[in-house]
Every structure is written in C-alpha cells, then in structure tokens.
C-alpha cells in the first residue's frame, strides 16, 4: 500500500486564498489566538505528522485484522489503542471544541483540514472521534448545564468517547418507527431495546463510552414527534465525574462488512436485565431536533470522507502510474517503453481524480468557514445568512462528495489495472472503504431529498438564488483574454451556473412530488459539479494573479491547468443533468411494479 502524504500545500492554498480566513480571524470568539497563515501552517504540519506517522501505518493492519468481539467486549485491531492515546495526548480530539470545557477553541476550518487527514490516513480509526464530535455537539447545544459539566470535558479530551444510537432493525432511515422504550424512574429513565449499525459502539480504548440513544417514553405520540434523546453511559458517572457501576448496555455482536473492517459496527442491547439507566437530553419528544444536531455534524464529516478517500486513492494511483512501465508513447513503434503516466487515458483518469479532489476540498473548506461565521459571528443577521449557506450545502458536501469519492476510488483501481484488483496494492481497500459513505448518516437519496424537497421549499429557493448570484459574480470577475485558460473556465462555469438556475426553477415550479424526488439526485449532483467548478474557477483566478509575481510557478500553473480540465471534462455534466432534471421524472415512475 502506498504511503500517505498529506496534501498540505493545497490545503494551505485553499484556506489562505479561498475561504475568507481573515473574516474568521476577526471574530471576537477567536480574539488573541492569532488566527492566520502561520498558525494554519503549524497545525497542518503537526496534523500531517500524526496522520502519516501514526494513523496511516495502521490502515492496512486494521483492514486485515478488523475488530473482534469477546466476552469482555469489543477488541480493536493491533495498535489502535496506542494510536488513540497518541491522538488525544496531542489534543486532536478537541481542536474546535469549546475552550470552556477543555477544547482548543480553534475554528471549525482547522478541524476540517485535520479531519481530512485522519480519514485519508485511516478512515476506520477516524470514525471514532468523528462520532464523538457529533455527540459532543448535541450535548453542548441541547444538554443541561449539569450534563455539559459532567460529560463534555472528558468527551472533548477524548478520555471518553461518544456514539449515536439511532437505527433499529425495523427503523433504518425511517426514525418514526423507533421502538426502543424509555421508562421514567425518578431522575432518570430505564432504557429497553436494541440498536444496530452503531459505529464504535463498544471498545476498550477509553474508560467510558457515552451513548446518545433515541427512544420513546410511555405516553409519547406516534411518529417522529414522539422520540426523545437520552444519555446512556457504558459506566454510570457519579456527580464528581468518577465512574460507578456497569450500565445495562452491551455490544452483542459486530457486523462483517465490505470495508472499514477496523471500525466495529455494533449491535447494542439496552436493558437485557433491569434496564439501562439513561438521562433525558432537553425535553421529551424533541429528540428528532436534537438528533439532527448530531446528524448534520456527522453528514459534513462523512462528506469529508469522500474527499479523504479520493485523495488517498489518487495518491496511490499517481505513484503507481509513475512507476509502472508498460507500452510506448502513442505513435511511437520502437524504442524504450515508458511509465503509464505518459499515456493519454491514464492522464485523463489521474486528472479526473485530482481535479475533483481539489474541487471537493475547496467546497468543504469554504462551507467550514460559513459554519464558523454562522456559529460565532456577533451579529444575528450575519449568523443567519451564513447558516443558511451551511444548511443548503451540507447535503451537497455529503451526497456529492461521497458519490465522487467512490468514483475516484474506482478509477484508482482502474489505473492500477489488474494489480488494482489485487489486495496487496491497497487500491481495493480504498474502494471498499469508500462504499459505505453514500449510505450511512443518510443515503445519497436522503441528501438529495433534503436539498430538493426541503431546503429549496423552506425559503422558496432564496438561499439557492443567493448562491447562484455569488457564482455569477465570480463569472463576471474572471479577467481573461480570448482563448486563454481563464476564458475557457469562465465559459464553462457560466454554462454550469445557468444550468443550475434553470434546474432550480424547474424544481420550484413542479407540482409533481414524485417527479421531483425521482430527479433529486441528479439535481444534487448538478449542484455539486457547479459548486466545485465555481471553486476551481476562483482558485484559477488567484493562481493567475500570483503567477504574475513569479510565486511558486509549478504549483500555481498546475492549479490553472487542473481547473481548465475540470471546466472541460467535469462541468459539462451539468448540462446533461439539467435535461434529466427537466424531463426524467416521468419515465422514472412509468413502469408498474410487475414490469421491473
């Protein structure tokens, strides 16, 4: 398996040139922290060491060994416990967490870049702190002051980990079917039920695991309006923070999966004996709202997994293409054979991988800055404006990026040829690991339905129209001479933005909900391709300006060429997807059940 090298040069370019870092640095919440390029460079350098030296070497080991269940609970793969200790000793678990509870209080942007590295290096490992982050955010936003004081310091430090317990065998994406029971008993509840697909639901890397569990109280109404959220610790916690008795919650089995073998996916049993003691978060019957705090946190980070796996697959394919000697250049019938990176179609595949990785990275990092501004800006109207952008684009970051991540991992296998189908190269693992990303934390269809069916209708398309206007401004600002790279990029982006505007108008005007849902994935992918093209155009404009000063010509020239490739090979998909959106809904629903 090819060693992982964190793409810190491109990360710094995106953060410093495209995200609006100065606006984040000016926020009162970050006063005195000297948020700027020097700090970014230092954080990325140290995170890269953690990713490349500690986490990446365990990726193949974890894939081979997997986690295993024993009478004592779930046992992680060799080296994971030691790596986790190094991870929390370095303070990486609380990069953007609240400083009042022991976090570093840095911008989410910093955490986003680090999360990309963790997932590229070892996605199975990274899932543990990722789920913990969602649980932290839910308790932070919805928990009582006592709950925050009791649980957050040790969850943020990483001494304890957190999980999300939503899914049941009869209640997958349909949470209205949740049947886990919560019976009141004094100042707590007794939880009875079973949850499935619980990522890192049990392990021995920490002293305690804090489960956030969806359940119904006895008098709860049916449907999603009757679910509540509960804190259910593996070990009960005394008021002084010390650990008490083992709670009645256990992992009864772990799944045997296509990928992410080292991440234990557990079946969790609550209340096999007297009932697991749980503590209500917030108010009864408002668990759905609290769940979405966790879910949105997780969905954004799963979108980063699509980017992260795409980056790892690209690096492996690039290095193989540089080393693998096969064939002569096109049109040459004699002489030495060359490495396959000289062949046009291999270059097409590598550039498809590279360009889409860079587009995903830029979009995700830009959304992270909107998160920081939406959470931390002192002006409420400004917070609302940035939060509207976050709400609109999280389903795109999650859905589009994970679909593209799988495509890139598959191309990685293709670049390797027959050796890509052999496990020793590692290309197979990237494809296997990536495949779950379009499924968990809400499938691609759920993200698309959220975008086309919910987000557009919430404000009658206002947030999307603001986004489109921002893209149109970029088109207008692209200074270019006829025929040069930026002229090509500008024309393609202009076409893409027009396609997105037309598709949005069609979705909003349609009165056929089935047709809208039938083309919603196409609409979401169209949005992703155009958003990616928008960021690549912005990057090309910055690169052209910097090239004029003689700065870093190799990197910057590659940035412009890669953006042009995206404009010529990727952005044209927007036009085809527009036609699908406008005309594809009827045929999707036309067959009877018997005709399938």
The structure's pTM equals 0.97
Per-residue pLDDT tens for 311-350?
999 999 999 999 999 999 998 989 999 999 999 999 999 9
Residues 392, 467: contact at Cβ < 8 Å? yes
Residue 176 pLDDT level (bands cut at 50, 70, 90): confident
For 24, counting Cβ atoms within 10 Å of its Cβ (0-12 exposed, 13-18 middle, 19+ buried), the class is: buried
Among the ranges given (5-9, 271-275, 387-391, 480-484), the one the predictor scored with the smallest mean pLDDT? 480-484
Which CATH entry fits the domain spanning 158-285: 1.10.1740.10, 1.10.260.40, 3.40.50.1100, 2.40.110.20?
A: 2.40.110.20
What value does the mean pLDDT take over residues 424-428?
96
Residues 257, 260, 266, CA angle at the centre, nearest 5°? 60
Residue 479 pLDDT level (bands cut at 50, 70, 90): confident
What value does the mean pLDDT take over residues 478-494?
93
User: Is 61's pLDDT higher than 80?
Assistant: yes
Residue 53 is a catalytic residue: no
Residues 77, 82, 87, CA angle at the centre, nearest 5°? 110
User: What is the spatial distance between Cα 505 and Cα 464, in angstroms, rounded to a whole number?
Assistant: 10
Across all residues in the chain, what is the average pLDDT? 96
Per-residue pLDDT tens for 62-84?
999 999 999 999 999 999 999 99
- 3-class state of residue 262 by DSSP: coil
User: What is the spatial distance between Cα 73 and Cα 272, in angstroms, rounded to a whole number?
Assistant: 16
What value does the mean pLDDT take over residues 265-281?
97
Residues 137, 140, 145, CA angle at the centre, nearest 5°? 165
User: Is 57's pLDDT higher than 90?
Assistant: yes
Residue 340: closest CA among 274, 450, 418: 418
User: Is 172's pLDDT higher than 80?
Assistant: no
Per-residue pLDDT tens for 500-552?
999 999 999 999 999 999 999 999 999 999 999 999 999 999 999 999 999 99
Residue 171 pLDDT level (bands cut at 50, 70, 90): confident
Residues 268, 165: contact at Cβ < 8 Å? yes
**Confidence at residue 106, expressed as pLDDT on a 0 to 100 scale:** 96
* Residues comprising the chain, all counted: 596
**Confidence at residue 177, expressed as pLDDT on a 0 to 100 scale:** 84
- 3-class state of residue 143 by DSSP: coil
User: Is 173's pLDDT higher than 90?
Assistant: no
**Confidence at residue 174, expressed as pLDDT on a 0 to 100 scale:** 81
Report percent pLDDT > 90 for the chain.
Answer: 95
**Confidence at residue 433, expressed as pLDDT on a 0 to 100 scale:** 98
**Confidence at residue 407, expressed as pLDDT on a 0 to 100 scale:** 98
**Confidence at residue 2, expressed as pLDDT on a 0 to 100 scale:** 84
- Out of 284, 441, 477, 593, the active site residue is 441
What value does the mean pLDDT take over residues 157-178?
90
What value does the mean pLDDT take over residues 488-505?
98
Long-range contacts formed by 101-105: CB under 8 A, 24+ apart: 101/140, 101/148, 101/152, 101/153, 101/156, 102/152, 102/153, 102/156, 102/157, 103/156, 105/29, 105/30, 105/33
**Confidence at residue 1, expressed as pLDDT on a 0 to 100 scale:** 79
- Report in angstroms the alpha-carbon separations of 147 from 96, 135, 240, 562: 20, 12, 12, 49
């Amino acid at each position: 398996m090819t060693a992982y090298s964190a793409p810190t040069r491109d990360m710094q370019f995106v953060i410093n040139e495209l995200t609006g870092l100065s606006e984040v640095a000016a926020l009162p919440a970050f006063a005195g922290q000297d948020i700027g390029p020097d700090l970014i460079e230092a954080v990325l350098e140290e995170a890269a060491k953690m990713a490349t030296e500690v986490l990446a070497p365990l990726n193949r080991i974890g894939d081979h060994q997997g986690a295993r269940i024993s009478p004592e609970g779930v046992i992680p793969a060799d080296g994971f416990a030691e790596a986790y200790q190094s991870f929390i000793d370095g303070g990486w678990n609380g990069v953007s967490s609240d400083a009042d509870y022991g976090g570093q209080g840095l911008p989410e942007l910093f955490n986003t870049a680090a999360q990309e590295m963790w997932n590229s290096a070892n996605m199975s490992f990274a899932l543990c702190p990722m789920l913990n982050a969602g649980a932290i955010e839910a308790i932070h936003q919805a928990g009582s002051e006592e709950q925050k004081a009791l649980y957050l310091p040790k969850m943020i430090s990483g001494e304890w980990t957190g999980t999300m317990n939503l899914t049941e065998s009869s209640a997958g994406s349909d949470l209205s079917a949740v049947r886990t029971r919560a019976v009141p008993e004094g100042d707590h509840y007794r939880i009875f039920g079973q949850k499935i697909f619980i990522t890192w639901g049990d392990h021995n890397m920490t002293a305690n695991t804090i489960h956030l569990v969806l359940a119904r109280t006895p008098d709860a109404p049916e449907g999603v309006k009757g679910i509540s959220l509960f804190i259910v610790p593996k070990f009960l916690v005394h008021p002084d923070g010390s650990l008490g008795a083992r709670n009645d919650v256990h992992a009864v089995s772990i799944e045997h999966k296509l990928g992410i073998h080292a991440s234990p996916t557990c079946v969790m049993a609550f209340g096999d004996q007297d009932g697991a003691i749980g503590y209500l978060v917030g108010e009864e019957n408002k668990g759905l709202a609290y769940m979405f705090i966790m879910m949105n946190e997780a969905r954004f980070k799963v979108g980063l997994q699509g980017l992260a796996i795409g980056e790892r697959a690209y690096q492996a394919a690039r290095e193989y293409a540089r080393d693998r000697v096969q064939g002569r250049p096109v049109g040459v019938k004699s002489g030495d054979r060359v490495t396959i990176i000289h062949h046009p179609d291999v270059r097409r595949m590598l550039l498809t991988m590279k360009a889409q990785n860079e587009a995903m990275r830029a979009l995700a990092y830009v959304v992270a800055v909107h998160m920081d501004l939406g959470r931390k800006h002192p002006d409420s109207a400004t917070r609302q404006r940035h939060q509207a952008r976050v709400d609109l684009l999280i389903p795109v970051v999650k859905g589009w990026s994970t679909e593209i991540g799988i495509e890139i991992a598959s191309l990685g296998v293709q670049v390797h040829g027959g050796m890509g189908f052999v496990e020793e190269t590692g290309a197979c693992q990237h494809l296997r690991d990536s495949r779950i990303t379009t499924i968990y934390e809400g499938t691609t269809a759920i993200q698309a339905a959220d975008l086309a069916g919910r987000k557009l209708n919430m404000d009658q398309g206002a947030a999307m129209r603001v986004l489109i206007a921002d893209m149109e401004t970029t088109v207008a600002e692209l200074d270019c001479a006829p025929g040069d790279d930026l002229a090509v990029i500008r024309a393609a982006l202009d076409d893409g933005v027009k396609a997105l505007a037309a598709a949005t108008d069609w979705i909003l005007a349609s009165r056929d909900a089935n047709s809208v849902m039938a083309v919603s994935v196409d609409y979401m992918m169209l949005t992703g391709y155009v958003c990616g093209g928008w960021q690549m155009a912005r990057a090309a404009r910055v690169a052209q300006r910097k090239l004029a000063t003689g700065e870093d010509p190799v990197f910057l020239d590659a940035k412009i060429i890669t953006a042009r490739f995206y404009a010529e090979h990727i952005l044209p998909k927007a036009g085809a997807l527009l036609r699908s959106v406008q005309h594809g809904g009827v045929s999707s629903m036309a067959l009877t059940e018997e005709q399938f």
